[in-house]
Structure 1
């Protein structure tokens, strides 16, 4: 199974703050400091045909492996953490990035409202790499990026239950999952704005 470039090197526009100041630029709002424990990105489906995916930070019981997904739509990818990563919460759970799509998304519906813009959490999967927040590109947006790209005309609340760049390489596993790998990183900074535990 092969996919287009997923090393996170394609030029794009960062939706979230890039300097750790906490300024809300809309969109993903993830910072590289929240993702430093990531060692690989697992894609459950080929991303060649996906203009965008929704990116979010989840609380999970494990550092690696497919996390539970109980919302609408489907889980299309997730991050694995360094095995030496300590829990980021008193409960012993870990903050991990997930990528997902809703039934109304462009790749899922012929009548998607996102034909010429993208939902709040959208990032181009080709810009995703371990430790690096995804970016919004014209391909993800569906048209030339407007000056105020972080304020799309419609925001959908369908969520289920800056930055250092890392090098990554692509390979496939016996199970058909696709991986982006990078060298192990130090533990992540305590992030904010995270969803409730999913399992």
Structure 2
């Protein structure tokens, strides 16, 4: 799936759920992306390098998004890659952040998280 998420992708989101013991605000940034999943709610499958931190749950009546796959839904996931700053302080993101990075404090149900550059620009304005 593409990294880029639209507001329409989140229209059925009704809750954000975090892995037990995860406080997303302890991270300098986390990643958000949209994933094709087999369920509307609960922990989704996660097949990426890195650590799943949380996910969005959809309303029970949310329609599948794919005519060719009637039992697949788009859901937002939050994660860290193994080379992200908080996972690897000497890694490639000592300066800058990945495209899909968001400030954890900007995560809200049905609302796109804000990229660190966007938050910094708003603070400077």
> Shared topology, TM-score over 0.5?
yes
Q: Distance in 1 between matches of 2:86 and 2:7?
A: 27
Which whole-Å deviations, capped at 9, do the CAs of 1:57-97 have from their partners, x for residues lacking one? Answer: 10001000101112211111100000011111121210101
| Unaligned residue ranges in structure 1 (runs of 5+) | 1-27, 146-199
Q: Distance in 1 between matches of 2:56 and 2:82?
A: 22
Partner of 2:103: 124
Query: Which residue, 40, 44, 49 being the options, matches 2:15?
Result: 40
Aligned-partner SS, 1:130: coil
**TM-score, normalised to structure 2's length?**
0.83
CA drift of 1:52 comes to: 0.9
| Unaligned residue ranges in structure 2 (runs of 5+) | none
Q: Which runs of 4+ in 1 moved over 6 A?
A: none
Which whole-Å deviations, capped at 9, do the CAs of 1:24-70 have from their partners, x for residues lacking one? Answer: xxxx6322122110001112211121111111110001000101112
Larger of the two Rg values belongs to structure? 1
Write 1 or 2 for the structure with the bigger share of helix.
2
Q: CA RMSD in A?
A: 1.9
Count of residue pairs brought into register by the alignment? 115
Q: Distance in 2 between matches of 1:139 and 1:103?
A: 24
**TM-score, normalised to structure 1's length?**
0.54
Q: Distance in 2 between matches of 1:124 and 1:136?
A: 6
Q: Distance in 1 between matches of 2:88 and 2:79?
A: 15
